[in-house]
Structure 1
Amino acid sequence: MALSNRRVVVTQRFFDEAAIAYLEAAGCEVLIADLAPGEADGGLDHDRLAAMLVGAQGWIVGHAKVTRFLLMALPHLAVIARRGVGYERVDLEAATELGRVVTIAAGGNDASVADQAIGMMIALGRRFREAQAQMNAGSWSILMGTDLYRKTVGVIGLGRIGRSVIQRLSGFEAEVLVATSRPDPKYAARTGVRYVDVETLLAQSDYVTLHAPLTPATRHMIDAAAIRRMRPGAFLINTARGGLVSDRDLLAALEAGHLGGAGLDVFESETDPTLQSVTDALIARADVIAAPHAGASTREGLARTNMIAARCVVAVLNGEDPPPACIVADGRKRVGERV
C-alpha cells in the first residue's frame, strides 16, 4: 500500500492537532467528518457512514454501530480504531471474518473516568446540586451531607478503570469491596481490597460504582432485585455502560426514597430511544448527578486516546501489531490462512 493512498477518516469530535500530525507524518491523509453541532457518530445511519468512509483504510470511531453490512460495503477498510474502550457496538465476528482489525484505546481514559466517578461520589454525598439550587432560590440553609471518608465502597469490575478508582479511594481511607470474575490475590494483598460476591457487595456498600463491560451476562445486573439488596440511602455510580442498570428500576427506587442518589454518565436511552422519558425523569431529580457520556472527555484524556487510536491505525497500515491490550479483533491471520 503506497503511503500516499492511506486515508484515515475520523468520525469523532475533539481530534487534536498532535494526533493529526502523527498520522500525517506516517503518510496518512486525514479526513475529519463534518458533523452538525450536537451530532455524534453514534447517531449516523449506514448510508451516511458508508459515504463518509469511501476509500478509507483506517477509521477512528466513537460510538457508531459497526455492522457486517457496513464492513462489507467498505472493502478497503483495514482497521477500525475505537477512541475509547467499549466495543459492544462493533460486530467483532464479522470484522474477524472479513480480515479487519478492531482496536480500543486501552489505558487512555482510565484516569479521566476514575476522576469522574470519585467526583460523583463526593457531589452526591455532599449534596452539591441540591445546595446550589437552594442558594439560587435565595435560601442559604445548610443541607447535611455524608462523607466519602472511611466509607465502604463497592467496585464492580476490576479492569483498568476500576483499579484507577480504587487507587484514588485509598486517599479517603475507604474500605473497598470488589466483585470480579477474575480476582487477583496479589492485588488484594497489595491494596487491601476484599473480594466478595455481588450480593454481599450490594448489601454492605455505602457507594456502589460500576466498571464492568456490557455483555449479555451483565445487562441489567442492577435491576429492582439488586437495588433492593442495597443499603437504604446508598449511592449508585454508573460511568461504564447504560445497559448495566435498569434505568426504569433505578428511577422507581429513587422515587421511593430507597437510595440516597445516583451518579450517571451513561443511560439506556443512548441505545434505546423509547427510554428517553426515563432518562429525562432521572436527570431532573435533585438526587441525581448526570453527564452526557462525558467521562473520558477531558482535554488530557482525549489527547491520550486520540494518540493511542492513531498509533493503532498506523501500526496496522504498516503491517505491524498494535499493543496487545488494544486489539479486540484481528482478522488478518484468518484471511492469510484462507489464502
Structure 2
Amino acid sequence: MRHRVLVSDPLSEKGLSLLRQTPGIEVDLETGRSETELASIIGDYDALIVRSATRVDAELLAHARRLRIIGRAGTGVDNIDVEAATKRGMVVVNAPGGNTVTTAEHAIALLLALCRKIPQATAAMKKGKWEKKRFLGTEIFQKTLGIIGLGNIGKIVADRAKGLGMRVIAHDPYLSREVSEKLGVEAVTFEDLLRRADFITLHTPLNDQTRHILDRKAFERMKRGVKIVNCARGGLIDETALLSAIDAGTVSGAALDVFEVEPPPPGYPLLERDAVIATPHLGASTAEAQDQVALSVARTIRAFLLEGTIENAVNVPAVSALERTRLSPWLKLTEKMGSFLMQFCQRIPPEITITYAGEILQHDLAPLTCAFLKGFMQPMDEGVNFVNAPWIARERGIAVREIRQHRPGDYQSEISARIDAPCEVTEIAGTVFEGVEPRIIRIGDFRVETAVE
C-alpha cells in the first residue's frame, strides 16, 4: 500500500528527500494552490504537510476523506483548525524545538540593531548620506534585560544576554527558584521587571492571560527610555499603547518581528516612527531552522504512516488506537483535573502526586499522567502536548510522582492528584461512571459529583 503525502507549502529539500526516499510513500509538492484548488485534490492524500501559508480549516478538511495526519513544519498550529481535525479523527503534529535557537538569536539581533540604529544607518548610507552624529547608539553591557517568559526560547536569550555582559531578570509565574538559580537569572515580579529593566523582551505564549500584557498601564510603570523587543506573538503588546509610549518618550525604541495583524496595513503608524525597527515575522527564518523543522515533521509523518506511531502530537496522546479508545474518558478526566488545579495555583509547585487506584491499574498510566500534565501546564507553554508535557514539567522543576493503590476507595477505579504548593485547592479526585462518563468526585475535602464537559 502506498501512502500519499501532500506538501502544500515550501519545505526544505532535506525533509522532502527523506520522504521521497522512503519505500511506500509518495510525495506531491503543490505550493501556491488556492483554497479551492487544494479542496479539489486533498481527498486523494493520507497526510498533509504545511508551514504557515496554508489555512487548514474545517471547510478544507471536509474534503479530506483519506487524510489521517496533518504535519506543521514549525511550532505554532494557528493556521490549523485542530478541533475540526480532531473531530474527523485526524492527528495534528508539529515540530517543537526546531526553531528555538533561531528565534532566540533573532531577538538578540534585533536588540543590538535597535541599540546601534543599524537599519536607520544602513538606509541613510544607501541614500549617499554619511551621518555619524545622527546615529548615536546605546551600549547593552551591564544593562538590565527583563525577559517576560522564561521557556525554551527565553532561556536561550538569557544565556546569550549573559554572554554579552547583561544583567538578566525574568518574570515567569511558572518559573521555580531552582531553575532560575541554575540559569543564573534573577526571578522577579512583573511590576519589578517593568520598573528595573533597561530592555524588555517577550517570550511567552499568547493566551487570555498574556494578551496585551504590555498595555498602557504597563508602559506607564516602565523606566523612561526603555527599549522593547518582541519576537513572540503580536497580541502580547497593545500596539496603540506602544505608539503612545513612543510618542511620549517613555519607550525610546521598539524592535518588532510580530504584529497583531500580519502583515500590518499600509501606512501603519508604528512603522512610520524612526524609533521602531521591524522584520516580517522572520524569527524562525534561517536555513538551519527550516531544515530542522522539515526533517522533524517528515520523520513524524513517516513513523505514523508506516508504523502507526504518534509523536509530537498536539491533539492526541502517544498511544495505540485500541488503547486510546479504552482510555478516552479517563484521558478527558485527567486533563480537566490538571486544568482545574492550575486555576488555583499561584506559583509553580515543586511536586505533583498522582494516585491511581483500582482497575485503572490494568492500563498504561503514562498517557493519563501526560494528559493531566498537559491540562496543568497549558497556561505556561502554548506548545505543550501529550508527548512533551513531562519534559516541560521537568524543565520547570516539577517533580511528578505516581502512586499505585490496588485497593480503591468507594469506586472500582479512582484517580486523585495533589500539588505541593500553598494554593486554595491542592487536591482533586475523579472517576469514570459506567466506563464512559468522567466525573469529579472530590475537590479538596469536599465530596462532589460533577460531570466533566
Which TM bucket (shorter chain)?
Answer: 0.7 to 0.9
2:183 is aligned with 1:191: yes
Cα deviations by residue, 1:141-179 (Å, 9 ceiling, x for unpaired): 333211122211111122221112112112112221222
Q: Could you tell which deviates more after superposition, 259-268 or 27-36? A: 27-36
Percent of aligned pairs sharing the same letter: 35
Pairing of 1:36-185 with structure 2 (within 5 A): 45=35, 47-63=36-52, 64-135=54-125, 136=127, 138-142=129-133, 143-185=135-177
* Counterpart for residue 9 of structure 1: 6
Question: What is the DSSP-based 3-state SS (H/G/I as helix, E as strand, rest coil) of the residue aligned with 1:276?
Answer: coil
Distance 1:190 1:159 in 2: 14
Distance 2:310 2:221 in 1: 43
- Call closer, same or farther: CA 1:186–1:286 in 2, change over 3 Å: same
Pairing of 1:285-304 with structure 2 (within 5 A): 285-304=273-292
- Call closer, same or farther: CA 1:208–1:69 in 2, change over 3 Å: same
Greater RCO between the two (CA within 8 Å, min separation 6)? 1
Distance 1:217 1:185 in 2: 22
* Counterpart for residue 202 of structure 2: 210
Question: What is the DSSP-based 3-state SS (H/G/I as helix, E as strand, rest coil) of the residue aligned with 1:307?
Answer: helix
- Call closer, same or farther: CA 1:255–1:95 in 2, change over 3 Å: same
Cα deviations by residue, 1:76-119 (Å, 9 ceiling, x for unpaired): 22111111111234333333332221122111111111111000
Q: What are structure 1's unaligned runs of at least 5 residues?
A: 37-43
Q: Which is greater in Rg? A: 2
Distance 1:305 1:115 in 2: 17
Question: What is the DSSP-based 3-state SS (H/G/I as helix, E as strand, rest coil) of the residue aligned with 1:20?
Answer: helix
Find the partner of 1:265 among 253, 257, 262: 257
Give the letter for the 1:206 counterpart: D
Distance 1:24 1:305 in 2: 17
Question: What is the DSSP-based 3-state SS (H/G/I as helix, E as strand, rest coil) of the residue aligned with 1:318?
Answer: helix
Q: Which has the higher strand share?
A: 2
Give the letter for the 1:19 counterpart: G
* Counterpart for residue 19 of structure 1: 15
Do the aligned partners of 1:129 and 1:286 also contact (CA within 8 Å) in 2?
no
TM-score, normalised with respect to structure 1: 0.86
- Call closer, same or farther: CA 1:213–1:16 in 2, change over 3 Å: same
Do the aligned partners of 2:42 and 2:63 also contact (CA within 8 Å) in 1?
no
How many Å apart are 1:199 and its aligned residue? 2.4
Give the letter for the 1:197 counterpart: T
How many Å apart are 1:260 and its aligned residue? 1.4
- Call closer, same or farther: CA 1:51–1:266 in 2, change over 3 Å: farther
Give the letter for the 2:31 counterpart: D
Aligned Cα root-mean-square deviation (Å) = 2.4
How many Å apart are 1:137 and its aligned residue? 5.1
Give the letter for the 2:108 counterpart: I
TM-score, normalised with respect to structure 2: 0.65
Distance 1:69 1:178 in 2: 42
Do the aligned partners of 2:7 and 2:31 also contact (CA within 8 Å) in 1?
no
Distance 1:330 1:236 in 2: 37
Q: What are structure 2's unaligned runs of at least 5 residues?
A: 329-453
